[in-house]
Amino acid sequence: MVNEKLKKVLEGVGENIPAMERAAQEVFDKGVKNLFLIGCGGSYSYMMPWKYFLDGKSRIPAHLEIAAELKVKHHLALGEGSVCLFTSKSGDTKEIVEIMEFCKKQGATTVAFVATEENPMRQFADYMFFADCGEEYSTHTFFCGIATFLLRLLFLNGEFDGYDRFLSQMMAMGPALDAARASVVERCEAYGKKHKDTPWHLVLGSGATWGEAYCYAMCILEEMQWIKTKSIHAAEFFHGTIELVEPGTSVIMMYGEDETRPLMDRAYRFISSITDQILIFDTKDLEMPFDPEFRGMVAPIFLGHMTGVLSKVLERERGHDLSIRRYYRQMEY
């Protein structure tokens, strides 16, 4: 069965590609001193995989920044020639609007990806790309938008000659995403039912998947389900968090396909010797329309699609709608 919603989202991305390529060309022609990947909460996590990728593939310096912190600290690299990227589903996230204005005042170029066409960010965006994707597929839209813009820049800089291949494969990934989701339904159903009342969880990731682990812990389990959760990078697991693992501890692991898999394996070997309550999301055995060299890069969006199954199971089993908040956007703070 064709997922019509996802198909429409990817078609919407395709309609934006010419404009994103023109923007990348204009930015490149002006000169790119550095890149700033800026966000808060979920939008910060969306930038994490790209920081990992850029560090290993590009000579252009890339800075990953939390919006509110960047505004108050004195970052010497931010200014003329900086290209700043932002995402926001609503387009009115307070921290993002404020940091966009701040970056503009520093002389930087601002590029935004949004899911709400009319929004306060527009007044501070040099380039804004809108896609009508709704809540469910906003992460897919942002992933594709950031990928198109950044990889086009790298192509122009002589650092990503696989741009055309990647883009055509990305636009064909809809069926593979849904197949990946279907592959974890049974395990997520069992795990969600068993752990609906578990008081806390541990979520691990590494490399390009660290952002997904960070986001799932904070934005889903904590924000949307009010479950105490600790996210930890596999490389840092042995420096403190290791002491929290006990028999019966719930551990969710996000496996990708980049160079950091051995870090996840090391953590798994220890964790599995203590607890048998481990849920692994792994892209390695999935069928994808991507060449091997691209699989590590796209692992985060596949993991996000897969973990959505567990989110819906927990929502149902706990009787706690994913849209309910106690404090976020409910009161001033």
* CATH number of the CATH domain containing 133: 3.40.50.10490
Q: Please give the single-letter amino acid code of residue 221.
A: L
Q: How many residues does the chain have?
A: 333
145 and 13 together in one domain? yes
217 and 301 together in one domain? yes
97 and 33 together in one domain? yes
Per-residue pLDDT tens over the stretch 162-208? 999 999 999 999 999 999 999 999 999 999 999 999 999 999 999 99
Looking at 172, 201, 231, the residue that finishes a domain is 172
Element spanning 197, H or E: none
206 and 244 together in one domain? yes
147 and 251 together in one domain? no
- Report the alpha-carbon distance of residue 137 to residue 59 in Å, rounded: 31
Looking at 128, 153, 172, the residue that finishes a domain is 172
192 and 311 together in one domain? yes
168 and 207 together in one domain? no
Domain extent, residue 282, equals: 175-318
163 and 227 together in one domain? no
Is 119 within a domain?
yes
Is 199 within a domain?
yes
Per-residue pLDDT tens over the stretch 23-79? 999 999 999 999 999 999 999 999 999 999 999 999 999 999 999 999 999 999 999
29 and 167 together in one domain? yes
What confidence score (pLDDT) does residue 246 get? Answer: 98
What confidence score (pLDDT) does residue 2 get? Answer: 63
Is 332 within a domain?
no
205 and 231 together in one domain? yes
Judge contact between 203 and 221, C-beta under 8 A: yes
185 and 291 together in one domain? yes
12 and 122 together in one domain? yes
Is 323 within a domain?
no
Residue 111 Rama label (left phi>0; alpha psi -120 to 50; beta): beta
Please give the model's pTM, rounded to 2 decimal places. 0.95
The count of domains in the chain is: 2
